[in-house]
Every structure is written in structure tokens, then in C-alpha cells.
Chain A
């Protein structure tokens, strides 16, 4: 979720993401007309993304824009396939000790960084220790890691303090835990000219304008068909679409949401969507009266018409959900107790002795869908006698206010989650780092702690379902919807698929004429 911040923005304006993994092994169809255009067989794909990466150090950035680029430059030990199952990447296999506390990974033979130097267990140890010791952005993913060692160049041993059933997701969920090169990091070049072992390497970075990637011929996997990928930063979705239509770019995830439906019906550009693992929600400040009363929060749950909110905020490009985890996930829990029932809501508020309630609802212009949704929410809550004061802030200020607890309620989204722990722990555990709305339920704490280390998948799923039920019943979060990922590309592009985790993979894409 560190990619949350900008990622969500992507979602807001654009929704999008990517795809491909499904084709990794399979042959993408080479539509090339064989004639060979000027620069060689593969050609360079121009991709327009909604903003500029803050920096390209995978361990230090939290911007989704950075990860759109880095996905194609770096590798992790394992990586999610199209169904978000962890599959081999730099590690070809792994074993787990009986007590679940020692994991031994075998590294791929012949893996190299793009500068030609070999990638060994030393690099894995360096990368993980860097994250842990310097408390970098993804340090939380190593919370149970006691030590990382490399007994020989092809073996990495990870020792844990407690069983960690989601270790693979932690070590490979996204490129924030990528394997970096020590000399590249120590020279400081990693910020603008990172060296990875992925299918492409960074060839140029023009601040404010573009990042150029070229094929990494030292890549261990199937050689990419493209000669390179150039990412340009186009903030305005209308402009990005014009670029796609006029052939200046061949791929973008920055499409005007209101046009997506009609674009999907056309065949050039190709526009596709896939359900994402993101979710959007409203949280009420439980440190403030009367929102400390679960009855009041539940009443608001009944007052909301999620269908209408989704329609307004996402132009229908989302699936209504009263829990966090989307239908496509193995951890989906089918539970929807809140019907849209203003009368019931009013009754509940009366019984709770609440009248003339005013809700200070904080939203951010960084994610315009929250601003739109807030207006619909305000209208719906007015029907049950609650006055909503919408406060629209820029994201920096929003985060500040949130940290200070200075809000009645807020709407935000979480992006790119894979494991259920990521969906619940930081948000709903009383000691969670993102529990700014001050939810506390000892039963939920216990279930989340237990599920964290539960190695039996069935029992783990059950624990999360119990926790989810309590969270929904307590209305800790009022879940609204799971948005779709929407991306568009030129008809000349083949071998690309939209991925539900928003990873953008160009490794098996080909460009025809």
C-alpha cells in the first residue's frame, strides 16, 4: 500500500492498470509486419502516465507513478501472477522448515543486473537489510524477519521470529521490496538511474518530461520484444486520451472516467478494465461523540445508497462491496448487512438519542472521486437529518488533519492490497498505524493477531472472516466499492493485459505497425 498515495490518484482520474502477467509464459502475438520500422524490430512503446515519479529508488518511493516504471526495471524474489498467486521470479524454489520459522530460497542461475554484474544472495541480503536497518518505506513487511543470510551465492535464508504465512506476499507483492544493486545505491544514482535485473533498464530521465527505458539484454527471462518503453507524464486525462488517439502514445492509464464506457465499445484505442483489489470507504472519528456509538455509525451505514455513490464517483466503473476484499479474491467474504433504508437509519438515530447531527466530512482534491462521492453522501445523509459539511483539502493537508484526528469523518481508498493482513491490520487493529479513526475492539485485535501467524490456510481464512464481520458490524469502516482498473492502448499493441494489482508489465508486449 505504500503505493497508495499516488496510486489512488491514478484510480481517481483514471483507474487503471495493468496487465500482463498472464502472458508472460505464453507467446504474445507479434503483429509486426516484418518490414521493420526505422529502429529495429521491436520498436519503442510510448506510455503516458498521470504524473511524474518522485524518485526511482524502489525502497524509498511511495508513489504509484514510480512503481509503474519500476515494475519493468526491477525483480523481486517471487512475484504475483495474474491471479495474484506468488510464483517464482528471482527465486526458483523455496522450502519452509517444520516450525515455519526458516525459509530457504534458491536463486535463479545466471540472474544478472543490467550492468552485467551477477545477482547473488549477497544482493538479496543487502537489499533486505537496507530496508530493515534504515527503516525504509517497506520495513513493515519485514516485521517478523529476524535475519537474512546468504550461506552461498545461490541460497538465501530468511529466519523469522513468528510464523508468517504471508511472507511470500511480503517479499514479492510489489517492487517496493525489489532487489537493488549495492554500488548503484551507494553512488546515489539509484534515485534517477536505478540498476535492476528486470526486463528493461533506465536509459534516460528528463525531469518533468519523460523516462526512457531500453531492453535489458542481460534479462534472465524471455527477451522483451520491444526495444524500449518511454514513459511521459501527462496529468490531464483529456490530453492523455488525445495523445493516444493521435498516436503520440500507444498506452495510457490516464483516461477521462466519464468517457471510459464509450471508449470500451470502440476498437481503437483498445480500452479494457479489470476489477482491482482496491477499496474505497468512509471512516467516522470514533474519538468524537456521537460516532463512538456503533449504533450511530450503523445508522449511517443504512443511510448510504452505495449504488448511487458508485455511479456518481466512478461512472459505474466499480463494484459495490460492503466488505473490503473484492469478489475476485480467495479471501472474499460475502457479507452485506446494510440495505439502503433511510427510515431505519432515522429510527436508529432517534433511539440513540441523536438529533441535529453535523458531520465534518474530509475529502481530498488529490482523489477527485472522494469529492464527487462526498456530495452524494451529503445528500443521502440529509435525508436522515444529518448535515454534512464537506471539507476539501489538498492531500498534504488532508494527511495532516487525519494524523491530528481533526475530522468527523473522511473518505479514502486503499490500493494494491494482496494479503488480507494488508486489508485489515493497519486500519482496524487498535495499535494499527493507520487507525486514525480510533477503532478499538479487543475481539478484532485478537483475531487479527492470530490470523497474522496462522499457517493453516483454512483457519486463517476463517479468522479473517470473523474479523471482517465484526469490522462491518461495528462500522469501523463503511466500505463502499472496489473500483475497476482501466487502461487503454493502441490497436498496434499486443500481449498486454490489465492486472488487478495495477502492476504495469511491458515485458511481453509487442508493437505492430
Chain B
């Protein structure tokens, strides 16, 4: 009889893990809390650093999982994984229990809620938007202010909810810098002639072709980079946004008027993941993400045998890393099920 593996979460990590497990001949069920699979990828119009369409990656997943023997259970929240007599029991919010030989947790991340940085005025000033809101504008093909006008001056604030002790997140979310660079270029593309300014603490361009895109943003698109963390945002009498920052390289405070301000929201452990961790007894780190058994050679293993992690539920990851991490989780599952005597 085929071994049954349950995957929790239908974003890129979960879909990848489920798809690879099916290929390896397992009976796989995928639980997704939303109506459809895809996760955050559904919201993203284009991806960094090559600016390919997000839908291309979704198409890859369509080929990977559709038409296969995969059971997808949508609109279902998993709350707990229990152990009983050598197998695992996955309980949904409705109290229905499913038995599995192994479980892959792929609950991903939540975007930082920018309202928590009140001084930036999100949901107070209409033209302060988040990176996700801007992506939605790109999807619609219309970058416009709340007054329906074309923005002439747009700012990007890096590190919103990341590297910030005041919101309890000491870690770097890693993807926001490159997302800002990508979106800055796209603003220039959508609205030629717009001036774009990125306010950063450090430009963390660690991925493949990130630094090249940063250079392209300066060289070909004329995006301006100002080193300083924005301290506060206010509104002028004619409804324009006023940003206060220190231009640390010039060594003087700087004030700027903008038509639109984009907050680069960081990544946090998902609420669903937090609940799952506490009810199941899974270890989490100081950063609140799931804490793998070993950060070097056991990044897919949890503290409970038979439960594995895939993707951004363990730390901020881009899609490439997520896919690699999910495949590695599958390798661990295969290893585990081969050794177990069930």
C-alpha cells in the first residue's frame, strides 16, 4: 500500500513538495486554507530579478500538480498535527482528522502589516501604499494616485517591518531590497518621466543578478538611492506626502514631497503557522519562524519525527530557494519513510 503524505499549505513550497512526492509514488493530500492554491505568488505580477511574469511560475505548478493523483483540499485550515501509534494525525479547524505517514509543513509567511509602523501613515494617508498594493496596480496596468492622477514623484521605503526592534523583528527579510529595485524600474516603465527615490539603510543585493538589476536601475532608469531610514511621513496642505529622512551620506536632514510612497513590507511567520506550532508542539525561533532541527544540515527536519518543513515557514526565502528547500524536504521524507517500519 502507498504511503500517505500530507502537505500543509498550497503556496510554491507546498505545491513543489506535493508535486515531487507524487512523482515519487506517494499518496499525497494537499491542504490549502484559501479557495485556490498559489499563495502569495497569485498576487505578484512580475518576479525579480528577471522580471518574468509570476503567471509563468504558476503555469509550471499547473503542469506539476494538475491531472495527477493529488488530492487538493481547499478552504481548509489545519490546526494541529498529533502523533498516535507511529503515524501522524492531522486535524483541521472543523475537527476532522486525517491520518498520514509523514507531514510536510509549508505554511509560508504573512506580509508585515504596515499599519504597525504608524509613523509611515499607511491607511492614514491614501497615497501611502504597500509593495503588495503596488503589485496589484501593475497587475491592473494603472499606476495612479488616490486622486486618479499620474504620480510624478514616487518614494520607496526599505525595511518596513524588517531590521526593526520597534516592531519586534530583528531579522532582514532579504527580498524587499530587490523587490524595491524591481518595482522602481517598473514605475519608470509604466509612467515614463516619473522621479523615483529609494530610501534604504543598506542595499542587500545577495542573490543571483540582484546587484546587476540595482546597477541597471541607476544606469538605465535613473532611479535615485538615498541612504537613510525614513523617520516619519506627514501630509502637506495640498495633500502631498512629506517624507523626513536624514541623508546620511550628505550628513544633513532631508525633506521631500512625494505623490506616492511605497512601503516595502517584510515577511513574518504566518498566523496559521504560529497556531500550528503552538498546538502541535513545534519549536519556533526568536524570529517566530519554525525552527528546524539544524540550520546547517537539517533545515527541513522539525523537532517531531515525521514532520518536515518546506519554504518560507522557516525563514524569508525567494521562489528559487523555496523550490530547492521543498525538494530537499521531499528527499528527507523519502529517507524517513524508507527507514520507518510501517
Q: Do A and B bind each other?
A: no
